[in-house]
């Protein structure tokens, strides 16, 4: 939001526990990643710090919108994370710096999200260029390493610490420092074979990428997940079986929706419940894995299995702090339903029912249509504590921003 521009702000983890994202203004206050909110909340009065609860539905929707805009600029796109994307600009004859500015302009116009654009002959160099686009304000958010001379590039790489290289974590950076490698330029001079044998194949490829040799391919299609987990730490202790049934039913709905979105089916389900090891309570935790007779993505079928399993592992008298489900043995839906098992009329009906459920929730918002076992409560204990959550401006009809002339 424009009103928050320039203000120190952090996004908080589940149950408003700790800072998982920080603006530059918040970093300038000395707030570290993972800092507990109760330790930094005093800065809200003295320094104007704002802490917001994580709003993953909103973030996901805005990410989809941003990636759609970015995808207009190349036929080949890899969505790398919720806020990062790679484009193949091979064949683009325009001035790439101006092209990058156009990308930034359209993303800002259509989504309101400020971005930076980095360009290079390899993915690693493109990531490095993006880092520089953020740091050097005079570049106006765009850095094209391909426009620099070899001398200019060498000077630039000499000024960047090796830990800023994509894939070089704190541990690897420390080992590299012990070898006398402190800058990106130092790493680029390392023998790729030595990097491979003393560290990993990945670091060997990274060295080559820093030299301008493409070794990490652009991945247009993300691999379907082999396991899908949906779990949550509860906002308050949960003590009853009905509450856990409500929670697990919602987790099943989320996991099965993800399963259907990647056009897959699963044949194994695991559920778990546990107390908090950080509370001075009686401790208990258990899990149960169940194989289903026919692989499926049916939320109703998996909900029945999950609730039966829950009855076996639930024990009264405990303050449960977390529960979750995991779908395993995931395979493509077409291969299972059409090759291994006959597609009966009842199966077709259930597939149609799930497609209808997904279509309604996509149109009217998540949870508009749900299984009865999730319940019709407002905010039970098993929901996350999100006392500082922003409205779902683009994901909830009741929270759409109102603009008055």
Q: Same structural domain for residues 15 and 110? A: no
Query: pLDDT tens, 210-252?
Result: 999 999 888 755 567 888 999 888 878 899 999 999 999 999 9
**Which residue did the predictor score with more confidence, 166 or 366?**
166
Residue 99 scores a pLDDT above 80: yes
Q: How many domains, the chain?
A: 3
Tokens of 33: 């990643």
* Cβ atoms of residues 245 and 383 within 8 Å: no
Q: Same structural domain for residues 46 and 79? A: no
Domain harbouring 166, CATH code: 1.10.150.20
Query: pLDDT tens, 371-402?
Result: 777 766 555 555 656 667 777 777 777 777 77
Q: Same structural domain for residues 187 and 320? A: no
The answer to whether position 130 is within a domain reads yes
Question: φ, ψ for residue 183 (rounded to 5)?
Answer: -115, 170
Domain end residue (candidates: 144, 176, 210) = 210
- H/E stretch holding 374 reads none
Helices (H) and strands (E) in the chain, counts: 15, 11
Domain harbouring 50, CATH code: 3.40.1170
Looking at residue 193, its pLDDT comes to 93
The answer to whether position 223 is within a domain reads no
Query: For residue 53, what pLDDT band results from cuts at 50, 70 and 90?
Result: confident
Q: Which residues pair with 9 in a beta bridge?
A: 50
Residue 95 scores a pLDDT above 70: yes
Query: For residue 339, what pLDDT band results from cuts at 50, 70 and 90?
Result: very low
What mean pLDDT do residues 249-262 have?
91
Give the residue numbers spanning the domain of 24. 2-54
Looking at residue 309, its pLDDT comes to 95
Q: Same structural domain for residues 82 and 199? A: yes
The answer to whether position 221 is within a domain reads no
Residue 303 scores a pLDDT above 80: yes
How many Å is the Cα radius of gyration of the chain? 25
Q: Same structural domain for residues 6 and 114? A: no
Give the separation between CA 214 and CA 86, rounded to whole angstroms.
14
Q: Same structural domain for residues 143 and 238? A: no
**Which residue did the predictor score with more confidence, 389 or 105?**
105
- H/E stretch holding 171 reads helix 170-178
Q: Same structural domain for residues 159 and 33? A: no
Q: Same structural domain for residues 362 and 232? A: yes
Q: Same structural domain for residues 369 and 265? A: yes
Q: Interhelix angle for 123-135 vs 201-210, to 10°?
A: 60
Residue 335 scores a pLDDT above 60: no
Q: Same structural domain for residues 47 and 143? A: no
The answer to whether position 379 is within a domain reads no
**Which H, E and C letters describe 197-217, residue by residue?**
HHCCHHHHHHHHHHCCCCCCC
Residue 338 scores a pLDDT above 50: no
């Amino acid at each position: 939001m424009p009103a928050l521009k320039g203000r120190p702000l952090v996004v908080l983890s589940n149950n408003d526990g700790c800072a998982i994202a920080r603006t530059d203004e918040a970093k300038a206050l000395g707030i570290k990643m993972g800092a507990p909110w109760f330790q930094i909340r005093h800065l809200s009065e003295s320094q104007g710090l704002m802490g917001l609860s994580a709003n993953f539905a909103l973030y996901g929707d805005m990410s989809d919108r941003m990636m759609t805009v970015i995808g207009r600029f190349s036929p080949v796109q890899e969505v790398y994370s919720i806020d990062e994307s790679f484009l193949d600009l091979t064949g683009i004859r325009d001035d790439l710096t101006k092209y990058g500015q156009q990308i930034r302009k359209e993303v800002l116009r259509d989504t309101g999200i400020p971005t930076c654009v980095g360009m290079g002959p390899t993915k690693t160099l493109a990531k490095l260029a993006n880092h520089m686009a953020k740091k050097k304000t005079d570049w106006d958010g765009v850095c094209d390493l391909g426009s620099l001379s070899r001398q200019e590039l060498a000077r630039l790489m000499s000024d960047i610490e090796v830990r800023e290289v994509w894939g070089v974590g704190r541990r690897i950076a420390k080992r590299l420092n012990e070898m006398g490698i402190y800058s990106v330029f130092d790493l680029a001079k390392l023998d790729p074979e030595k990097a491979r044998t003393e560290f990993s194949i990945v670091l060997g490829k990274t060295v080559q990428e820093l030299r301008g040799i493409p070794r990490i391919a652009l991945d247009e299609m993300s691999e379907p997940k082999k396991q899908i987990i949906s779990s949550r730490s509860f906002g308050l202790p949960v003590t009853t079986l009905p509450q856990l049934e409500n929670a697990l039913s919602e987790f099943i709905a989320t996991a099965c929706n993800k399963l259907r979105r990647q056009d897959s089916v699963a044949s194994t389900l695991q559920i778990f419940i546990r107390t908090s090891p950080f509370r001075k309570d009686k401790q208990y935790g258990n899990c149960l894995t169940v194989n289903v007779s026919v692989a499926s993505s049916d939320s109703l079928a998996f909900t029945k299995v999950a609730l039966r399993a829950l009855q076996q592992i639930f024990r009264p008298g405990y303050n449960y702090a977390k529960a979750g489900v995991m779908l395993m043995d995931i395979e493509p839906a077409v291969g299972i339903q059409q090759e291994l098992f006959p597609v009966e009329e009842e199966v077709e009906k259930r597939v149609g029912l799930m497609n209808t459920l997904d279509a309604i929730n996509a149109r009217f918002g998540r949870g508009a249509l749900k299984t009865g076992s999730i319940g019709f409560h407002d905010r039970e204990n098993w929901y996350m504590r999100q006392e500082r959550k922003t409205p779902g401006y683009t994901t909830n009809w009741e929270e759409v921003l109102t603009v008055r002339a």
